[in-house]
Chain A
Amino acid sequence: EADIYQTPRYLVIGTGKKITLECSQTMGHDKMYWYQQDPGMELHLIHYSYGVNSTEKGDLSSESTVSRIRTEHFPLTLESARPSHTSQYLCASSRTGKYQETQYFGPGTRLLVL
């Protein structure tokens, strides 16, 4: 059973506001990820982290930023939200191991920017 949490689950916000989407995991996983998904489309990786103080951009360009100060916590921030940021944001984590990794996902945050 994956223990990965995201808050808020739903967020409706006006253009220009700063938002932070929270993601925490209690599995001690070293790797964490943020994906963006629109209805009927594939998940796109926007950020990932190998561990504390490590962050990398994913395949899909995003105006969001991330930080990894603690192993269990990987927040995503949008400095100035726009309607084009409306999407579902999914956080995931995995453990580096001997075998290839399975990523476990949180419940997601559905963001609507008006």
Chain B
Amino acid sequence: DQQVKQNSPSLSVQEGRISILNCDYTNSMFDYFLWYKKYPAEGPTFLISISSIKDKNEDGRFTVFLNKSAKHLSLHIVPSQPGDSAVYFCAANKRGSEKLVFGKGTKLTVNP
């Protein structure tokens, strides 16, 4: 039973437009959420995180929104750039646990 779901395996956007990547979770005990970016044959790179006490966190072109009542979070990238093309993983953690639970990832393609 997947606790973290990324229902869109892929997303294609035009350079300069907004990319919106979505993630849903089922475990209400999760209180810390992270987004990672991964290129093929490389390790995931940490992008941005958000604690459950917030509903928004922004870092440059990246913004993460958290809707606790819907158990949903999203990553917005604006403006999108071709170098953003990668697989994006959503991950969740609950306080006191060392374990991150990952979604299956969404492959983002940004077209020039």
Q: Hey, which bits of chain A sit against chain B, CB under 8 A?
A: 2, 4, 6, 9-10, 31, 33, 40-45, 48, 50, 58-59, 88, 90-92, 94, 99-108, 110
Contact of A42 among B32, B51, B104 (CB under 8 A): B104
Cβ–Cβ < 8 Å partners of B31 in chain A: 100
Q: Is the CB of B43 within 8 A of A58?
A: no
Is B105's CB under 8 angstroms from A42's CB?
yes
Min C-beta distance of A87 to chain B, whole Å: 12
Are A100 and B51 in contact, CB atoms less than 8 angstroms apart? yes
Which chain B residues in 93-109 approach chain A with CB under 8 Å?
A: 93, 95, 98-100, 102-105
A45 to B89, CA, bound (A): 15
Question: Quick one: given A42-B4, A100-B32, A100-B51, are A2 and B102 in contact (CB under 8 Å)?
Answer: no
Top 3 nearest A-B pairs (CB, nearest first) are A105-B43, A42-B102, A100-B32
Does B59 touch A at the CB level, under 8 Å?
no
Checking A6, A90, A94, A110 against B44 with a beta-carbon cut-off of 8 angstroms, the contacting residue is: A90
Q: How far is the CA of A88 from the CA of B46 in the complex (A)?
A: 18
Take A105-B43, A107-B43 as given contacts and tell me if A40 and B95 are in contact as well, using a CB distance cutoff of 8 Å.
no
| B44 and A105 form a contact (CB under 8 A) | yes
Q: List 29 A-B contacts (CB under 8 A).
A: A2-B46, A4-B43, A9-B41, A40-B104, A41-B104, A42-B4, A42-B103, A43-B89, A43-B91, A43-B100, A45-B99, A48-B99, A50-B98, A58-B99, A90-B43, A100-B31, A100-B32, A100-B51, A100-B93, A101-B98, A102-B34, A102-B46, A102-B49, A105-B43, A105-B44, A105-B45, A108-B42, A108-B43, A110-B41
